[in-house]
Amino acid sequence: MTAEQIIFLLTGALILVSALLVVTVRNLLHAALWLVVALFGVAVLYAILQASFLAVVQVVVYIGAIAILFIFAVMLTRREMRDTGPQTRPNWWIAALLGALVLTGLIVIMLAVPGADRTPAALPEGLDTVWALGNALVSPEAYVLPFEVASVLLLAALVGAVYVAGVGKKS
Amino acid sequence: MNFWNDPINFIANWLTGLLTGWGLAAGLATVLVYLVGITVLIVFAMLLDIGLVWVERKVVARFQDRLGPNRVGPFGLIQPFADIIKLVIKEDITPANADKVIYNIAPVLAATSVIALWAILPLSSRIFGVDLNVALLYLVATGALGTLAIIMGGWASNNKYALLGAFRMVANMVSYEIPMVVTLLIPTILADSMSVIGITEAQRGLWFAVLSPLGAVIFLISAIAELGRSPFDLTEAESELTAGFNVEYSGMKFGWFYASELLHAFTFGGFAAVLFFGGYGGFFGLEKALPWLTNPFIEAAVFIAKAMLGYWVIMWLKYSMPRVRIDHMLAFNWKFLVPLSLVLLAVTATLHKILIVLPGWQYALGMFFSNVVIVAATIEVLRDYGRKQRKAAEELAPQAQL
Amino acid sequence: MSIPLSWYLILSAGLFGVGLYGVLARKNAIAILLSVELMLNAVNINLVAFWRYLDPAQMAGQAFAIIVFAVAAAEVAVGLALIISVYRRRKTVVADDIDLMKW
């Protein structure tokens, strides 16, 4: 077992354990913080996969923006966060069953992917992934249209969120 | 390769040789050498931090027409160690009903987020942690971790002042992150690189502060806001919030927050030097005549001096500015700094593409004057706005007297 | 680089399953959103792993991961805005209690 495999296994265990804690822990703020840990683990995976840009963006976007948004939402709706009463629906076992079913199904399908046991070739010589990604996102032959659509989506979501959550002028 | 030209690699090679000579596997030896390197870097940063305590206290004393620490040791040099001993032997208090685990992790995370920055800080062309190709984004990412540490500390303290301070700090950091990221893009465009080494090497001939002085100023302002230092120290506005997010912390846990704040300020002085003032190099081509200037140790000394200067400017602003009000601060960011930085980015990107074909001095002149024009236009817009505000106030004034 | 592709696939399947359980079982609307984030991240792990293992010169996997980031941010912004709006009107964030539209 190489050092890289050990790092992967440790990170994977961290991600899965903290993901389980996200969905089971009673205190919602703790759940949000466990989500941060899980997302940080995913950033480590991106680093192992040599997607350095995504690894850093994962920390900036998820931990820097989304997690903090969550923490604020938890605090704004704090009165309902008391640890009384069950945090799960009464028929949670159906959910657990469905989750397990999907998990096994996914694993079966994914292991059937041709070449699932392959190990990656080295990155092509002289390939600057950050440069290539930036180029792919703005070149017309590649992904400029999805990229622009995503930015319009973000803008629309922003306007919608401000409108929905805003107090507005009471007439 | 000898010690004077490439000290880090020299020592690393020697250590690896020594360890493999003792019969260790090559992979394990490399890991051990990296661990030693990380430890040395952290120890260096922390030792510097202890020095910064003394520097900060001496400088603030001078600004306030005092002498500062002068009893313990020559020039009070041993004062920081006395401070540490005091902090360590103080009672460690955890407030009732505090969220203990989060409360204890927060100071560690705060210090980690600052020390992590040292991984990419290039002390010289041969002395640095790693040369990431996404270093500037990494800078923003560690800032996000710092925000998380503050909100954890503020929430877990179970104290309304701490929570209010944390809220303010997060509002502060999230808003000022935008002009900061935009001004980080300016050196990226000018140097065609996001790695700190690449940016520094691109400034061998001319500092980016000359090509984009406005960018340097906006970076400095948003860096100060990110640090939560005066005039943006609303997070610990003593008169309103007692001491902000760290009000419940005592002893060395408070010490960690304090130490990481000082080191953070110095580190941002260093990043200002890297991004706009040539970092460890930037001798305007002088190093061709004087090759000894590219010695790693000389470069490191130059870098530390520049970072110290940046730190001194941050302190200068801190101790001579009154605190702004929170709504003023957010309005200043969203209504002034964000639009201005976006305009600056658009102009810089366009002009850089157009002017890059010209000879060097014409290019530099063009970039510089574009900044002058933007500043002049901004001042004109602000003057117009100020006139309108005054007029509205004058029209209201008679009514107010009635 | 000695990690087989299947490890990443199994890990992302596990993350997706945990997220699915959270979405279905949790009562609190914010907790449901947290679980959706886990599922989105599972998808992203797969996208990036396929990029790295199949054809690193083609940036499709990374580009789509970035679009997933944008979608996730949009989803969180709108979702939390809805939750806060509902909380203001009905003083609850429990998904079961938000049942005005049920016949």
Is there a contact between B137 and A33 if contact means CB atoms under 8 Å apart? no
In a domain, A160, yes or no: yes
In a domain, A112, yes or no: no
Kindly state the percentage of chain B with pLDDT values over 70: 97
Q: Average pLDDT in the C31-44 region?
A: 90
- Whether residues A70 and A135 share a domain: the answer is no
Q: Average pLDDT in the B124-151 region?
A: 85
Is there a contact between A38 and C49 if contact means CB atoms under 8 Å apart? no
Question: How far off is chain A from B141, nearest CA to CA, in Å?
Answer: 5
The predicted pLDDT at position B340 comes to: 92
In a domain, B52, yes or no: no
* Segments forming the whole domain that contains residue A55: 1-81
Q: Reply yes or no on whether the pLDDT at A123 is more than 80.
A: no
The predicted pLDDT at position A1 comes to: 65
Do residues B107 and B149 lie in contact, with contact meaning Cβ atoms separated by under 8 Å? yes
Each residue of C8-23: pLDDT tens digit? 888 999 999 999 988 8
* Chains in touch with B (≥3 Cβ pairs < 8 A): A
Say which CATH topology domain C5-92 has. Helix Hairpins (1.10.287)
Is there a contact between A71 and B155 if contact means CB atoms under 8 Å apart? yes
Q: Reply yes or no on whether the pLDDT at A156 is more than 90.
A: yes
Band (A79; pLDDT cuts 50, 70, 90): low
- Whether residues A138 and A64 share a domain: the answer is no
B13-32 residues touching A, CB cutoff 8 A: 27, 31
Of A64, A72, A130, the CB nearest to B144: A64
Assigned token pair, B363: 């290019």
- Write the single-letter amino acid at B195: S
ipTM of the complex model: 0.87
Distance CA A144, CA C84 (A): 34
Residue at a domain's end among A19, A49, A81: A81
Residue at a domain's end among A81, A112, A147: A81
Residue at a domain's end among A23, A51, A81: A81
* Chains in touch with C (≥3 Cβ pairs < 8 A): A
Q: Average pLDDT in the B271-288 region?
A: 83
Q: Where are the alpha helices (DSSP H) in chain A?
A: 3-24, 28-48, 52-57, 67-76, 92-111, 129-138, 144-165
Residue B26 Cα distances to A4, B14, B23, B319, angstroms = 15, 13, 9, 52
Band (B238; pLDDT cuts 50, 70, 90): low
In a domain, A132, yes or no: yes
Is there a contact between B137 and A60 if contact means CB atoms under 8 Å apart? yes
Distance CA A48, CA B383 (A): 53
Angle between helices B160-191 and A67-76 (to 10 degrees): 160
Is there a contact between B144 and A63 if contact means CB atoms under 8 Å apart? yes
Instruction: Please state the domain count of chain B.
Output: 1
B90-119 residues touching A, CB cutoff 8 A: 99, 102
Do residues A2 and C3 lie in contact, with contact meaning Cβ atoms separated by under 8 Å? no
Band (C41; pLDDT cuts 50, 70, 90): very high
In a domain, B109, yes or no: yes
Residue C32 sits at the chain A interface (C-beta within 8 Å): no
Is there a contact between C83 and A123 if contact means CB atoms under 8 Å apart? no
Do residues C69 and A61 lie in contact, with contact meaning Cβ atoms separated by under 8 Å? yes
Do residues B189 and B349 lie in contact, with contact meaning Cβ atoms separated by under 8 Å? yes
The predicted pLDDT at position B342 comes to: 92
HSE-CB of B325 using CA atoms within 13 angstroms: 3
pTM of the model: 0.87
Considering only residues B346 and A117, tell me which one the structure prediction assigns the higher pLDDT.
B346
Assigned token pair, A43: 């950033």
What value does the mean pLDDT of chain A take?
Answer: 82
Distance CA B187, CA C40 (A): 33
Instruction: Please state the domain count of chain A.
Output: 2
The predicted pLDDT at position B1 comes to: 62
* Segments forming the whole domain that contains residue B320: 90-331
Band (B219; pLDDT cuts 50, 70, 90): very high
In a domain, B389, yes or no: no
HSE-CB of B369 using CA atoms within 13 angstroms: 7
Question: How far off is chain A from B301, nearest CA to CA, in Å?
Answer: 30
Band (A80; pLDDT cuts 50, 70, 90): low
In a domain, B398, yes or no: no
- Whether residues A133 and A77 share a domain: the answer is no
Question: How far off is chain C from A52, nearest CA to CA, in Å?
Answer: 10
Long-range contacts of B72-75 (CB under 8 A, 24+ apart): none
Is there a contact between C93 and A51 if contact means CB atoms under 8 Å apart? no
In a domain, B44, yes or no: no
Looking at A14-28, A75-89, A106-120, B202-216, which range is the least confident one? A75-89
Of C18, C92, C94, the CB nearest to A16: C18
Is there a contact between A63 and B151 if contact means CB atoms under 8 Å apart? no
Looking at A75-89, A151-165, B45-59, which range is the least confident one? A75-89
Each residue of A18-42: pLDDT tens digit? 999 988 887 788 888 899 899 999 9
In a domain, A77, yes or no: yes
Q: Reply yes or no on whether the pLDDT at B168 is more than 70.
A: yes
Chain A residues closer than 8 Å to C23 by CB: 95
Assigned token pair, C72: 């996730």
Kindly state the percentage of chain A with pLDDT values over 90: 15
Is there a contact between A15 and C11 if contact means CB atoms under 8 Å apart? yes
Q: How many CB atoms lie within 10 A of CB B253?
A: 23
Residue C47 sits at the chain A interface (C-beta within 8 Å): no
- Whether residues A3 and A58 share a domain: the answer is yes
In a domain, A106, yes or no: no
Q: Does B have 3 or more CB contacts under 8 Å with A? A: yes
Band (B70; pLDDT cuts 50, 70, 90): confident
